[in-house]
Structure 1
Amino acid sequence: MIIGARSAWQITKGGHRKRHGRRRIAGASFDKAESRTSAESLPCLIPTAGSAKPVCQLTSLGATMTQNAPPMNPANLLLRFLLEIAALTGLAMGGWHVAFGWPRPLMAVGLPVVALAIWGIFRVPNDPSSNGRALISIGGVGRLIIEAVVFASGVAGFFMAGQSAIGISVGGAVAIHYCFSYRRIGWLLAASK
């Protein structure tokens, strides 16, 4: 659903663009068509051949997404954000303690920047843990591998810095986060098939 005063373009069953008007209800603007979480509500890049409904495929680097992901609990999203910050902090601390001399500040800044770039660039389209956009689309398994490497590296960074209690706490919180994200993990694994 797009909120605003503009008209929305949708892809019809025949693959043609169709413009839908807007109507106002209590000061808000809504599509005439109901909001759907099915594949019909996705922007269609490449219509699937022979389908009755406009099921779409995003084919960059093999990612095939046919529906929106299940929504995530806001508390779990907050925990995820804090864990991302903790992982970047752990990488900075580990980079500081692994290097000596002039490379020390470069490692302390460079490791988190590289991890942040990889985390933000390689995404799964329509992922509920982000804004849904992907600069470079990857499959669900690839995304889970990136997340595991970043979180594990952050935990290892705390251990290298001599902060084992923080490392254990962050590692446990990551495990709890993924226990509560089982629907997202299932969606990511299904997206890779």
Structure 2
Amino acid sequence: MDDIVKQALAKWPNVPDCYGWLGLDARGRWYMRDDRTQAAGPFPQAKGSLLQHEKLIDFIHRNYEADGAGQWFFQNGPQRVYVELEATPLVWRLSADGAVTSHTGQSTTVDECLLDAQGRVYLVTPLGVGLVHTLDVGLAAEAVEQGRWTPLEVRAEDLPARHGFVTSPAAQHRA
């Protein structure tokens, strides 16, 4: 977490949390969801505006983490902005040399490879569970063929409970 964020938390400790305003799609892209977008439906059916400002995205990446209940958030100064997830809290990018990196730029190792009925590939790592980016599924297939990973079948709808993450903190907050 950025030092400036830690300072803001200390200065303003009781800022209310924010729900529904930020979404992460299955390709690791961030979406800002204003009131009108939220009224149009849940994420990802109503995505909102794609964030493209690199410095803002980098700031989100540096300050993105999960709380004790498995809800992922972006710590925006003193305010937690909870993230609506299309699939998983992390999206993995793979390299031909076998490196695995999260959409936030963190390198990791693979503990487990999972495959759902739709052919989507997930990796369980020390950082958490994430979906392999669609552009990198070929590299995941190569890792399987080379015997580096053995995919286990999984039901996508079981992933949140099995790996302790919440796809819609906003829905839980309203309940």
TM-score, normalised relative to structure 2: 0.28
Larger Rg: 1
TM-score, normalised relative to structure 1: 0.26
Structure with greater strand share of residues: 2
Structure with greater helix share of residues: 1
